[in-house]
Structure 1
């Protein structure tokens, strides 16, 4: 599973970072970003939860 954060849609709410810190973190612009190329198997459920609950639908699966 691969995910990315659309920087134009991200509203910097931090929900994804709180939900799945193994995959998401803040970038230098204060927006969320994916910090891994491939989501680790043990973090896939949390990453999918972050994707589904993103209020601005900024998280996309590749």
Structure 2
């Protein structure tokens, strides 16, 4: 599975970072950084919660 970020929608609120800190990080300039291309089984639930909790709907998973 691959995380796809719509950077035009992302506002850098950091909700995704709080739900999946091993996968997402908002850098000092407020930009979202995806820290890994491979999602571990341990991180998958947090990534799904981050996608569902994103208020701007900027995240999605692709197979």
Unpaired segments of 5 or more residues in structure 2? none
**1:60: how far off?**
1.6
- How has the CA–CA distance of structure 1 residues 5 and 27 changed in structure 2, closer, same or farther, with 3 Å as cutoff? farther
Superposition TM-score, scaled by structure 1 size: 0.86
Superposition TM-score, scaled by structure 2 size: 0.84
Q: CA RMSD in A?
A: 1.4
Residue deviations 1:8-50, cap 9 Å, x none? 1101110000110010012464221211111111110000000
Count of matched residue pairs = 62
Which residue pairs with 1:10 in the alignment?
10
